Amino acid sequence: MTNYQIIYTADPKSEDINFLGKSIIDYAVEQKEHKPMKFFGFFIRDAENNIQGGCNGAILYGCLHVDQLYVTEALLEQGYGTQLMQMAEQLSREKSCTFLTVNTMDWEALEFYKKLGYYIEFTRKGYAVRVSFKTIE
């Protein structure tokens, strides 16, 4: 009989996290006949090819989910965040998604997403630093 251990890992390697995600995707495709989850990213790059911002996420089960959106401070208020979200929205249409979601904290970019027409689907409370977690669809 094989002995197994559960080991806590602080700051796990991205390949270890990717293993978990790929295994879940493979199971969904094989056992549930779902289309595989597809990941995406749009990146703002400078002349030296350094990333200055971007957004990434996944398309799964008919939904496009924006996981992260970031623009360097130097590029704020120049429309890059809006362009990134418009590109994600276009991708969701091209992939025939039925909806698009994004999560944010109330102190992060809530007002930005509201200006783009997103709304609060639900609020999560209980964080130690008195912020709310918002899901915006």
The pLDDT tens digits for 39-97 are 999 999 999 999 999 999 999 888 999 999 999 999 999 999 999 999 999 999 999 99
**What pLDDT score was predicted for residue 61?**
84
Q: Counting every residue, how long is the chain?
A: 137
**What pLDDT score was predicted for residue 13?**
95
**What pLDDT score was predicted for residue 89?**
96
Q: How far apart are CA 80 and CA 102, in angstroms?
A: 17
pTM over 0.85: no
Under the banding of pLDDT at 50, 70 and 90, the label for residue 137 is low
Strands 99-105 and 133-136: antiparallel
Dihedrals phi, psi of 53, to nearest 5 degrees: 165, 180
- Residues 38-47: contacts with CB within 8 Å, 24+ apart? 38/95, 40/64, 40/88, 40/91, 42/84, 42/87, 42/88, 44/71, 44/75, 44/80, 44/84
Burial 44-66 (b: 16+ CB within 10 A, else e): beeeeeeeebbbbbbbbeebbbb
Query: Of 131 and 63, which is predicted with more confidence?
Result: 63
DSSP state of 137: -
Structural domains of the chain, with CATH? 38-136 (3.40.630.30)
Lowest mean pLDDT, pick from 22-31, 44-53, 96-105:
22-31
- Residue 105 confidence (pLDDT) above 90: no
**What pLDDT score was predicted for residue 33?**
76
